[in-house]
Copies of this chain bind each other. A is one copy, B any other.
């Protein structure tokens, strides 16, 4: 990594921790640079203003999650050729990944941005929207493959069903953090898996 890139990443790492714990406005540049061992001037060398940091955090978060989803679905595909089975496997792998995080998943930057959107300019809000729509497209594609073989056993809108993946994760994180049960998120994801199983598994008889 180039000389400056390493510092930039360190700034974003400490900023992300703080933003997830206190929100964006309450996270001061002062404390970020202290934790990252640089000066304020150094911060403004990497980011023109505080809003640019928010945008960078969202975009990095999304690309990290995208890689994670790509990885999980690819591994699942290797384990089964059936689209329903491989999706169920992927969701289980995802739950296991989240369950294995030592102090629980740290939370989702997108969620914090949604509840602080009047702080940000249109750029940041757009990045947030694009992120969630990207997840919808991704999961919708997996669902389309399933539906082509297994007709759903209840009337559902497939985009809504795709959104449910993001929704259950986001909601699971909130419940998990509120009650202080780090693995609650993973268990919520397993319930979503149970739903997909019931919805698409053909009726025996």
Q: Which residues of A contact B (CB under 8 A)?
A: 20-26, 107, 110-119, 128-129, 131-133, 136, 153-157, 160-161, 163-164, 166-172, 174-175, 177-180, 184, 187-188, 190-191, 194-195, 197-199, 203, 205
Considering the chains assembled together, what is the distance between the CA atoms of A163 and B185 in angstroms? Answer: 10
Q: How far is the CB of A126 from chain B (nearest CB, A)?
A: 10
Considering the chains assembled together, what is the distance between the CA atoms of A115 and B203 in angstroms? Answer: 42
Which residue, A118, A160, A169, has most C-beta atoms of chain B within 10 A? Answer: A160
Q: How far is the CB of A144 from chain B (nearest CB, A)?
A: 17
Query: With a CB–CB cut-off of 8 A, which chain B residues contact A197?
Result: 154
Q: Is the CB of A119 within 8 A of B26?
A: yes
Instruction: Name which residue of chain B comes closest to A132, CB basis.
Output: B178
| 22 pairs, A vs B, C-beta closer than 8 Å | A22-B117, A23-B115, A25-B25, A110-B178, A114-B174, A115-B115, A129-B179, A133-B179, A136-B179, A154-B194, A156-B191, A157-B187, A163-B188, A164-B188, A166-B171, A167-B172, A168-B171, A194-B199, A195-B195, A195-B198, A195-B199, A205-B205
Known: A156-B194, A179-B133. A118 touches B163 (CB 8 A): no
Which residue, A25, A172, A174, has most C-beta atoms of chain B within 10 A? Answer: A174
Query: With a CB–CB cut-off of 8 A, which chain B residues contact A113?
Result: 178
Query: With a CB–CB cut-off of 8 A, which chain B residues contact A156?
Result: 191, 194
Our pick among B24, B107, B187, B195 for the contact of A160 (Cβ within 8 Å) is B187
Q: Is the CB of A132 within 8 A of B179?
A: yes
Q: How far is the CB of A51 from chain B (nearest CB, A)?
A: 13
Q: Is the CB of B160 within 8 A of A184?
A: yes
Instruction: Name which residue of chain B comes closest to A185, CB basis.
Output: B167
Query: With a CB–CB cut-off of 8 A, which chain B residues contact A174?
Result: 110-111, 114-115, 166-167, 170-171
Instruction: Name which residue of chain B comes closest to A195, CB basis.
Output: B195
Q: Is the CB of A116 within 8 A of B175?
A: no
